[in-house]
């Protein structure tokens, strides 16, 4: 598999959130996770598959342990939490592990 066909899920630091997410002119799927979180680990391959199949959506991960201010900004109390943003505006939130079909439906909002 060549690297030009593999779409990577980018790990974004809180200080780059505005630049990467709020200034994006397309949909952005954000996965708030923690490395120690078992449901987050179950969601990782789902999020990666969404990135592969939806090149029109930017998919990023944010480590919740390092992003308390973003967690507070969006009222996130549990992880994993997915946020769907479009042109910098919050469109939808989904909390908890989900199947590929559930996340696929979520990003089509």
Q: Each residue of 30-85: pLDDT tens digit? A: 999 999 999 999 999 999 999 999 989 999 999 999 999 999 999 999 999 999 99
- Asked if 29 and 57 touch (Cβ cutoff 8 Å), the reply is yes
Q: Which of 12, 29, 40, 51 is labelled catalytic?
A: 40
What pLDDT was estimated at residue 10? 84
- State pTM to two decimals: 0.90
Q: Helices in 1-109 by DSSP H: which ranges?
A: 17, 38-53, 68-73, 100-107
40 assigned to active site: yes
What pLDDT was estimated at residue 22? 84
Q: Which of 37, 42, 91, 95 is labelled catalytic?
A: 37
What pLDDT was estimated at residue 1? 37
Domains of the chain: 10-107 (3.40.30.10)
């Amino acid at each position: 598999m060549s690297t030009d066909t593999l779409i990577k899920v980018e790990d974004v630091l809180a200080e780059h959130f505005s630049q990467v997410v709020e200034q994006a002119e397309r949909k952005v799927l954000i996965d708030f996770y923690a490395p120690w979180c078992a449901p987050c680990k179950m969601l990782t391959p789902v999020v990666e598959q969404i990135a592969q199949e939806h090149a029109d959506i930017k998919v990023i991960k944010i480590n919740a342990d390092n992003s308390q201010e973003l967690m507070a900004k969006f009222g996130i109390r549990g992880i994993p939490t997915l946020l769907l943003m479009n042109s910098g505006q919050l469109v939808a939130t989904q909390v908890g592990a989900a199947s590929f079909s559930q996340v696929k439906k979520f990003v089509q909002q």
